[in-house]
């Protein structure tokens, strides 16, 4: 069975497993209802990271409902 991935409604970070709070920002507002996936490796050099207000490397959902 595939591991569930939960997206944070606040920062869009993708959390793995049975997280109760976002590993990136600490928010408890997590959802399975998300679409699109982007991996940001160097946020300080990324226009996408700038647009998404991302400061930490990782996987992020493009759309979170």
| 15 annotated as a binding-site residue | no
E-assigned strand segments in the chain: 5-8, 14-16, 30-31, 34-40, 58-64
| 22 annotated as a binding-site residue | yes
The whole-model pTM stands at: 0.90
| Cα 46 from Cα 51, distance rounded (Å) | 9
| pLDDT tens digit sequence for 18-59 | 899 999 999 999 999 999 999 999 999 999 999 999 999 999
| 50 annotated as a binding-site residue | no
**Every domain of the chain and the residues it spans:** 6-64
- CATH top-level class of 6-64: mainly beta
| 64 annotated as a binding-site residue | no
């Amino acid at each position: 069975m595939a591991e569930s991935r939960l997206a944070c409604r606040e920062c869009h970070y993708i959390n793995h497993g049975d997280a109760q709070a976002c590993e990136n920002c600490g928010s408890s507002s997590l959802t399975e209802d998300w679409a699109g996936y982007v991996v940001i490796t160097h946020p300080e050099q990324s226009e996408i990271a700038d647009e998404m207000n991302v400061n930490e490397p990782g996987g992020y959902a493009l759309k979170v409902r």
